[in-house]
Chain A
Amino acid sequence: MATWDWQVFCKNTIDGEVIPRCLGSGGDITYLDWMLSAWGWTLSVALLALVVALLLGSLMGILRTVPHKGLVLLGNAWTELFRNIPLLVQVFLWYHVLPALVPVLKGLPSFVLVVFALGFFTSARIAEQVKAGIQSLPKGQRYAGLAMGFTLPQTYRYVLLPMAFRIVIPPLTSESMNIIKNSAVAFAVSIAELTMFAMQAQEETSRGIEIYLAVSGLYFISAFTINRIALFIEQRVQVPGMIGGSK
């Protein structure tokens, strides 16, 4: 069995000396400090991208179900565009290609670009799920809403979406967990997040097993926390008698 050396996290990143209390002070940074800051970057990228993805994804998903050909086309085009290009390629397009075409983007930090890249990529997947949720409802629901005198937006707001969103909570949970894991691509555009920390720290310390185990653990904790939060929401909003509701 390999010998463990967990002290590696207490080492100073400048001279490799072990710092007694494991957290650096006065400008000294230990690998533990670095890893926690990297975790912060991972969560920041993932959560902001998740906000972008949920907003845009819901919007596009809804557009794909409205009785207006132009809007449906927009929603479909959006989904297919962002769903059919690999994520890493999209990140590079945002980082290298778009700023060359649109000079304004050059001023934006890579953090913002990667949030957009990850958010737009995931929004396509969320749009697909929201569309599926709405289409899973019987057509009569929509007609009933309209027959009651609701406008189309009101029908969505009060009749269709409350049911559709409850139905798609489980796949949206998976997407939210995926976005944590997918945020690892941010290392490619110079975000100091967990994957970059792992690659760099294992090179510097030669303690790859410990570093990768710790980083895997943090990814697991992050994704699992999202899972529990989503489960809590799902239970809080469930309506007895509906799909997914208590019997």
Chain B
Amino acid sequence: MKTIAFALSLALATTAGHAEDTLKKIKDSGSVTMGVRESSGALSYTLGDGKYVGYHVEICEKVLSDVRRQLGLSSLSVKYQPVTSQNRIPLVQNGTVDIECGSTTNNLTRQKDVAFAVTTFVEEVRIAVKANSGISSIGQLNGKNVATTTGTTSVQTLRKHERATGVDFKEVFGKDHADSFLLLESGRADAFVMDGSLLAGNIAKSKNPADFRIVGEVLSVEPIAIMMRRDDVTFKKAVDDSIKAMMKSGEIAKLYDKWLMQPIPPANARVGLAMSDNLKAAIASPNDRPMEEYAKK
């Protein structure tokens, strides 16, 4: 199914024009399309029945209500369009989605195709293990089975680490995060390498959260941001200004607490991932630096 949607979106992408004025489009149509994810941790997910919630979805809703005020519209209808990691960039490029509020990493490759708002979340790739395994760093994974999810940047991160450190582990790939976590839970894998927030979320949802621990060094740091069309300076400014105001007023910190520290629907489980120093820095001085600049430090 993903492939079909992808192929369709490609067909559309090749026919659509570039660099349209999103603010004008919103003003003329009185509606805007928000790209959302079915299951991207606490950042963007569905409750079923076409309802989408999460940290990034709520930020976007507030941004869009600022945009509505700026345009002087009395009402603005927001359409939610679920996207996948395969089709999100083509759908933003071809105008199907005006603002994507999922969990997209801001990197240089993608900046050739799309624009990113200021960083609103910083993801750190970590290692989850069973609490009784005695593993506490990547060096101890020599000869072990390491799970990660197909179609994520973590696969590449793992490969790079394997090459750089000479640690030799066997990768096993889950088809989605729940599947990868099952590999760890059932003992087919000794560790699960993935974005910290997703690890924390999966552990929180497991039968016995105390059986699992997140350990070891941060393998990779990825700035996650809201995505828009490229070369649309006025829309990016409107979005950035709105987010910066929320960062200044402390509203972003409140939203972070609401979605990542407190119990969230539908199961009222809490992710319990304290704000990282990298994110605190990104909120103190808002910026849209790509992943590559984080790696340099």
Contact = CB atoms under 8 A, between A and B. Distances in A.
B108 to A, nearest CB: 10
Contacts of B110: 206
Interface string B1-43: 0010011001001100000000000000000000000000000
B118 to A, nearest CB: 22
Interface in A206-233: 206, 208-209, 212
B150 interface: yes
Contact residues on B (Cβ < 8 Å of other chain), bracket = 20 to 34
Nearest to A95: B188
A2 B14 contact: yes
A206 B109 contact: yes
A200 B151 contact: yes
Query: Max chain A CB contacts within 10 Å: which of B109, B155, B175?
Result: B175
B152 interface: yes
Given A14-B160, A187-B175, A204 B14 contact: no
B85 A190 contact: no
B156 interface: yes
Nearest to B176: A188
Contacts, number: 55
Contact of B89 (A14, A187, A206): A206
Contact of B7 (A2, A204, A212): A212
B186 interface: yes
A94 B110 CA distance: 39
Nearest to B172: A190
Contacts of A204: 153, 155-156
A159 B90 CA distance: 60
A66 interface: no
A204 B155 CA distance: 9
A147 interface: no
13 contacts: A2-B10, A13-B156, A188-B175, A188-B179, A190-B171, A192-B173, A196-B173, A200-B150, A200-B151, A200-B155, A203-B153, A206-B113, A208-B86
Interface of A: 1-2, 13-14, 27, 96, 100, 110, 187-188, 190, 192, 196, 198-200, 202-206, 208-209, 212
Interface of B: 3, 6-7, 10, 13-14, 85-86, 89-90, 109-110, 113, 150-153, 155-156, 159-160, 163, 171-175, 179, 182, 186
Q: Which 7 A-B pairs have the closest CB atoms?
A: A199-B151, A188-B175, A190-B173, A190-B172, A203-B151, A2-B14, A206-B109
